[in-house]
């Protein structure tokens, strides 16, 4: 009995030592955990010039779910970034106004953890969420609403005007920039800590043995060269470094002026297929192997890809509880929907 206890203790100590070594290896690769403390998290995601408050978050949530921000009154932010579907829409190319598919065949990226991205949009043209939120609302193939229409719709609803005053003060100008930045404040709260974060933060048993093995394979194969930081992605990186992406002809997207493309976050990746900028690959295992070829110039075997996918499952995080909001009623002054 005493011998068994000693052996068990030695095995436990050994597992902690191995876990510590793996954590150190992960951190050296540039990957970071979502902070455990709310204070530390806020120092990363908050803006002192426009701080997060419960009033702004609740108002931003209503606007996020409100289809009246679209020309047709049918499309909300949640249409393409569905919080019940991993923050994406589950289709290859986003569908917008007049049932129009994205003209560049671009896939909707997840909104979860987007506050940790260094760049927004596939070409990185926006540096932060407040600027990003302005794009889809105005874009013809998306929500198709001019700034003036959005302002008229929101300001025609007294309950919205009152909520803006409560959130920002009586002298607030409820303009397009304020409306979209309030949506962004809500989006900042869509953070999903996972078992992987628990592991990096010191819980050696948060990952299974198979997940630890997959994590080790992930690092050894070089995946963290692009998928790093808190988001395990979200930075601009050169694409097709070693080989041609086999579905490069789907859509006409070529990245920014320098051919750089925003690296997708791997957080909740099992929930956000199909994959790549054009949503051309539906299998996560296939996506891993394609990245090995295209970006790293290596062959990732079926076994190795399976190990990596096992690890990627540990990145599925705990979603914040979202109660679907009851939206304030339109008035006689609210501009009617248009389908042109």
User: Binding site for heme c: residue ranges?
Assistant: 77, 80-81, 97, 223, 226-227, 291
Give me the residue label for tokens 């008229």.
152
Q: Which residues are annotated as a binding site?
A: 77, 80-81, 97, 223, 226-227, 291
Q: Please state, in angstroms and rounded to a whole number, the distance separating the CA atoms of residues 133 and 142.
A: 12
Scanning the chain, the segments in alpha helix (DSSP H) are 2-28, 38-45, 54-65, 77-80, 129-132, 134-138, 147-155, 158-168, 176-188, 195-200, 209-220, 284-291, 302-312
Give yes or no: 211 in active site.
Answer: no
Cis peptide leading into 56, omega within 30 of 0? no
Contacts of 230 (CB under 8 A, 6+ apart): 32, 33, 34, 44, 113, 116
Both tokens assigned to 215 = 């994590």
Please compute Rg for the chain using Cα positions: 22
The SS3 call for residue 68 is: helix
Q: What is the DSSP string of 167-184?
A: HH-TT----HHHHHHHHH
Q: What is the number of residues in the chain?
A: 340
Choosing from 40, 142, 177, 290, the catalytic residue is 142
- Name the residues annotated as catalytic: 142
């Amino acid at each position: 009995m005493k011998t068994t206890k000693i052996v068990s203790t030695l095995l436990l100590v050994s597992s902690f030592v191995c876990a510590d070594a793996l954590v150190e290896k992960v951190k050296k690769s540039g990957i970071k955990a979502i902070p455990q403390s709310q204070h530390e998290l806020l120092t990363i995601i908050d803006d002192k010039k426009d701080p997060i408050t419960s009033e702004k978050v609740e108002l931003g949530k209503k606007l996020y779910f409100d289809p009246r921000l679209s020309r047709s009154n049918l499309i909300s932010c949640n249409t393409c970034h569905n919080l019940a579907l991993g923050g994406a829409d589950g289709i290859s190319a986003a569908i917008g106004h007049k049932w129009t598919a994205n003209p560049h065949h671009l896939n909707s990226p997840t909104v979860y953890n987007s506050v940790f991205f260094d760049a927004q949009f596939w070409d990185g043209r926006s540096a932060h969420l407040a600027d990003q939120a302005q794009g889809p609302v105005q874009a013809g193939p998306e929500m198709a609403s001019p700034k003036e229409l959005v302002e008229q719709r929101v300001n025609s609803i007294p309950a919205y005007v009152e909520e803006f005053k409560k959130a920002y003060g009586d002298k607030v100008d409820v303009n397009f920039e304020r409306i979209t930045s309030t949506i962004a404040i809500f989006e900042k709260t869509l953070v999903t800590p996972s078992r992987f974060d628990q592991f990096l933060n010191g819980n050696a048993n948060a990952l299974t043995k198979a997940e630890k093995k997959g994590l080790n394979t992930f690092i050894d194969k070089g995946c963290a060269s692009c998928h790093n930081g808190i988001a395990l992605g979200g930075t601009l990186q050169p694409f097709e470094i070693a080989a041609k992406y086999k579905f490069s002809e789907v859509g006409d997207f070529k990245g920014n002026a320098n051919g750089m493309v925003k690296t997708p976050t791997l957080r909740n990746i099992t929930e956000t297929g199909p994959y790549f900028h054009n949503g051309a690959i539906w299998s996560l295992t296939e996506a891993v192997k394609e990245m090995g070829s295209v970006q790293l110039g290596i062959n990732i075997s079926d076994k190795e890809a399976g190990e990596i996918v096992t690890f990627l499952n540990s990145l599925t995080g705990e979603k914040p509880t979202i109660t679907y909001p009851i939206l304030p009623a339109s008035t006689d002054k609210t501009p009617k929907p248009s389908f042109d």
